[in-house]
Chain A
Amino acid sequence: MKIIVIANETFPTDQNLTLENINEKKILNPYDEFAIQKASEIKNHKNDEIIIFMISKSDNLYCLKTCLGLGGTSGNLIIFKGNNPKDLAAILVKEIKKQGTFDLILTGEQDVNNPRGDIPYMINSLLDVPLISHCLDIHYSNNKLICKKETDDFLEEISINLPCIISFRKNVYEPKYPSINDIMSINEKPIFLNYYNKSENNLYLKLKIYNVKRQNKIYKNIDSDKAVKKISTYLDEWGLNGGLYEYINLFKSKK
């Protein structure tokens, strides 16, 4: 089986963001990390391949090597400094086609820092291969892929033939760490660097740090009666529907 995993590097979710460090620190996008874990689970023959396509703005190999440590058999770094998703999708499709036939494309639904989520649909449209989106889990049996998918009202179990594209809306909860053997093997795995010219959208983009000022009235060492009083006074003051009393009674009457 030939599995392609499309991954992206992104800003760490537990770090403070400034306009200076925005392009400095990078981690593997947690949704894509989940896709790599699933690819490793499905790979059951020694000859099965997991080809990683890592989208990056620089030629830093850290995230790609992490993917190889987690089970990738070969890596392609796509260095693309543009911001047009359609161009990026076209580049990915071009690179995927270079690989010849494939059985499965796995990817995260979106970048954790930019919830656009359009790349899997674009690849689906350009390759004309069916896509299962909002996927929570997959397993492979009897030449079919069984996917657990989330919709607005249901959790669905879906069966699909290969080849297909799966995009995961679940991220990694318990990170898996590569074993010493896996880490040692990274340098033996082939890595290809693909540079693409910067392309820009026509749109004008501006970015600024977003902060909300809070009142920070913190009460320590007060008993629970006083705490309830503080809460009710606060709720009354800011006046949801004219005050707490009115709100509660309005809600009661609605009930």
Chain B
Amino acid sequence: MNILIYLNQKNNYLSDYSKELLNIASNLTKNKDFNIYLVSLYSESLKNLKDDLKNWNIKKIFFILNKDNYYIYPTKISHILTSLKKDLDIDIIIMGNSLFELDIAPYLSMRLEFDYIPNISSFFLENNQIIFDRLIYGTKALEKSTYNLKNLVCIFNNNINKNQPWKIHANKYNNIPIDFINYKSNENILYELKNQVLKKQKKHPLETSKIVIGVGKGIQNPENFQLIENLANILGAGIGVTRSVVDHGWRPEYEKIGQTGKIIKPDLYIAIGLSGAMQHVAGVKQARHILSINNNPNAEIFKYSDLGIVGDLFEIIPKLITYLNHL
């Protein structure tokens, strides 16, 4: 069995999400004769990852070199992956759920005539088959689907597998060989890039933060976000917002949590000044703990909370910040 993992790795340390994907691949191939191949866009910092990667049984790493800094088209990456599949006789392709990978995966599944399974929240192996769990209907329902361990392109959500290094009983490959693939010039240009604006980079991205603070219209104005940012800095938390905050133009669209925004799975979700509309709760239902502060005792969010405080956020949050600062 051969598995190809596409790593959307940008830093010089192996991200938790990349470790999860490697663990998932190792889990899938447990007790089987298997090979894991890695493919990633090349950057200088990735060279340092080679030692980290020794924790997994990786047969070979392929780096895609973009020497001339061309605009990367996902379709072109899927062409590269298609030829790798043919050369290596790949059975399963595993990817993360970044927008870039969501661009590559469905196109790839079409080209290879593989089944495409996105937003997988857990999986089980049973009699040479694999059962995938996907949360659908805004996390109101769980879909279980069974496939053979063959011809699959899988997109796994964050936080489904422990990110600790996989226990290796016998590392078959001490020195992982590396191969380079050139990203060729963009002949047949599909579209032209006119302008590019960097998104406001967050210290703690929503998808990977252990603690996320959700903020609703109760914050009253954009200036009051400073209060939330102070709390987030102490807790190392990501900040997400409800649709009404985005509607008011207080925060960008990509910070929205909910059925039509980001669906997250933190250890702790702190809901501040938000009512708890069904569409918003869909985005945080998988949180391990939900704590909410709202001055309306009838707010829906209390139904979904482990701990709820009926009170004024402008009184409670400053005091909480002071308390945490003195810990």
A-side interface residues toward B, CB under 8 Å? 11, 13-17, 22, 30-31, 85-86, 112-118, 121-122, 124-126, 130, 132-134, 136, 146-147, 150-160, 164, 170-171, 173, 201, 203-210, 212, 214-225, 227-228, 230-232, 234-235, 238, 240, 244-245, 248-249, 251, 254-255
Contact = CB atoms under 8 A, between A and B. Distances in A.
Interface stretch (B18-26, B59-67, B109-117, B164-172): B109-117
A216 B291 contact: no
Nearest to A209: B141
Contact of B308 (A150, A164, A217): A217
B110 A224 contact: no
Interface of B: 8, 98-100, 102-103, 106-107, 109-111, 115-116, 118-119, 135-147, 190-199, 201, 210-211, 234-236, 243, 246-247, 253-254, 259-260, 267-268, 277-279, 282, 285-286, 289-291, 293, 297, 302-312, 315-316, 319-320, 323-324, 327
- In this complex, the member of B102, B268, B285, B315 whose beta carbon has the largest number of chain A beta carbons within 10 angstroms is B102
B234 A154 contact: no
A218 B320 CA distance: 18
A152 to B, nearest CB: 5
A229 to B, nearest CB: 9
Contacts of B306: 214-217, 234
- In this complex, the member of B109, B138, B277 whose beta carbon has the largest number of chain A beta carbons within 10 angstroms is B138
B304 A214 contact: yes
A206 B191 CA distance: 41
A221 B309 CA distance: 9
B106 A118 contact: yes
Contacts of A13: 138, 259-260, 278-279, 282
A204 B192 contact: no
Nearest to B201: A153
Contacts of B305: 214-216, 218
Given A30-B260, A85-B116, 16 more contacts: A11-B137, A14-B278, A116-B116, A118-B109, A122-B110, A125-B111, A132-B191, A206-B144, A208-B142, A210-B285, A214-B303, A215-B306, A215-B307, A222-B311, A227-B311, A244-B327
A126 B110 CA distance: 9
A234 B291 contact: yes
B118 A224 contact: no
B107 A210 contact: no
Contact of B291 (A114, A118, A206, A231): A231
Nearest to B136: A114
A153 B196 CA distance: 10
Contacts of A160: 190-192
A240 B192 contact: no
- In this complex, the member of A160, A170, A217, A227 whose beta carbon has the largest number of chain B beta carbons within 10 angstroms is A227
A204 B146 contact: yes
Contact of B194 (A116, A146, A204): A146
Nearest to B115: A203
B107 A117 contact: no
Top 5 closest pairs, chain A to chain B, by CB: A118-B106, A121-B106, A157-B195, A218-B308, A224-B315
